[in-house]
Structure 1
C-alpha cells in the first residue's frame, strides 16, 4: 500500500477525542512516523517549542479558544499547516485566509491530499 506520509512527524491540535483518534488512525495508515496531539493552545505551543514537526493540523476552535497563536508559532518556524473546522472557514483571521482547511467530517483521501499538497511545497 502507498504510504504518502512515510516518516513524517505531524502535530494534531484537536480537543474532540473521537476526532483525534480518527485522525491519528488515518495518519498512521498514511505512514506517519509520529502523530503528536495537543488539546489546548497552551499544550500545542509547548510542543512546538520542544519538537520539530513536518506539518500540522489545527482545529480552529478548541473549546472556545481560537488556534491562531498556534498558527503564528508554526508559521514562524516554517511548518506548513491546515485548519480543520466544522464551520465554513469564512471566519478565518486576516493573514490566514489563504491557508487550506478541511471541513469536518472529512475522509482519509481528503486528509492525504491536503497533507500531500502541504508537504510538496
Structure 2
C-alpha cells in the first residue's frame, strides 16, 4: 500500500480493531488509520485475540481479514454483529458461503488496496 498523510483526519476519534495475521499488512493498515486520526486496537493475529478484543474493548469499527491462520473470522463477525459494532473485510479471499449469508451487505475491500481506499471505506462504514 502507498503511504498517505490524511490532512482531514477522516477517522479522528474512532477506535478500530485490526484483525490481520500478516504482520506487514497489519502494520500498513495500522499506519493508514493512525494517519487518519484513529486509535488502534490490535493488530490481532489470532482468532482468540480478536475475539478477546471484541469482548473487552470499546470499538467503533473492526477491519477483518477473512482468515486468521487456518480459522475464519466468522465468529468475530458474529460477535461484532451481536454487539452492534460495524465492520468491513479487507481480504484477498472470497467469503465462505455461510459468512456471505450472515454478512450480506458487508463492505469488502479487496487486497491489495491503497491506504486511501481503506481509510475511505472505513469512513464510509462509520458514517452509515
TM over 0.5: yes
Q: CA deviation at 1:97?
A: 2.9
Q: Distance in 1 between matches of 2:100 and 2:47?
A: 16
Deviation at 1:85?
Answer: 1.1
Q: Where does the alignment leave 5 or more consecutive residues of structure 2 unmatched?
A: 1-6
Mapped to 1, the partners of 2:94 and 2:51 lie a distance apart of: 25
1:81-120 equivalent positions in 2, closer than 5 A: 81-89=87-95, 91=97, 92-120=99-127
In the TM superposition, residue 38 of structure 1 has moved relative to its aligned partner by 0.8
Change (3 A) 1:22 1:83: same
Gaps of at least 5 residues in structure 1 are none
Of 69-78 and 42-51, deviating more is: 42-51
Counterpart of 2:77?
71
Partner of 2:16: 10
Q: RMSD of aligned C-alpha atoms?
A: 1.5
Q: Tell me by how many angstroms 1:87 deviates.
A: 2.4
Cα contact 2:18–2:40 (8 A) shared by 1: no
- Using the size of structure 2 for normalisation, the TM-score is 0.87
Q: Partners of 1:65 and 1:72 in 2: how far apart?
A: 14
Rounded to whole Å, the distance in 2 between the matches of 1:95 and 1:37 is: 24
Task: Specify the alignment match of 2:3 in structure 1.
Answer: none
Shift of 1:110: 0.8
Cα distance 1:106–1:44, how it changes in 2: closer, same or farther (>3 A)?
Answer: same
User: How many equivalent residue pairs?
Assistant: 121
